[in-house]
Amino acid sequence: MTDWQPHTARAKDWFEDLRDRICAEFEAIEREAGSDAAFEYTPWQREEEGNAEPGGGVRGVMKGNVFEKVGVNVSTVHGRFAPEFARTIHGAEENPEFTATGISLVAHMANPHVPAVHMNTRFLTTAKAWFGGGADLNPPIPYDDDTEAFHAAFRAICARHNPTYYERFRKWADDYFFIPHRGVHRGVGGIFYDHLECADEAAWERNFAFTQDVGSAFLEVFPAIVRGRMETEFTPEDKRRQLEWRGRYAEFNLVYDRGTLFGLKTGGNIDAILMSLPPEAVWN
Q: Which residues are catalytic?
A: 118
134: number of Cβ within 10 Å: 24
**Cα–Cα distance measured from residue 125 to residue 203, given in angstroms and rounded to the nearest whole number:** 14
Dmax of the chain from CA atoms?
Answer: 57
Strand order in the sheet with 97-109: 40-45, 55-62, 67-80, 97-109, 116-125, 129-138, 189-197
Rounded to whole angstroms, the Cα distance separating 99 from 127 reads 10
* Residues 202, 146 contacting (CB under 8 angstroms): no
**Cα–Cα distances in Å, from 227 out to 23, 91, 159, 163, 234?**
15, 42, 27, 31, 15
Q: Compute the C-alpha angle 62/265/201, nearest 5°.
A: 85
Which residue in 19, 12, 67 sits closest to 41, CA to CA? 19
Contact 39, 23 (CB under 8 A): yes
Q: Residues with Cβ < 8 Å from 243, sequence gap 6 or more?
A: 280, 281, 282
Contact by Cβ (8 Å): 77, 56: yes
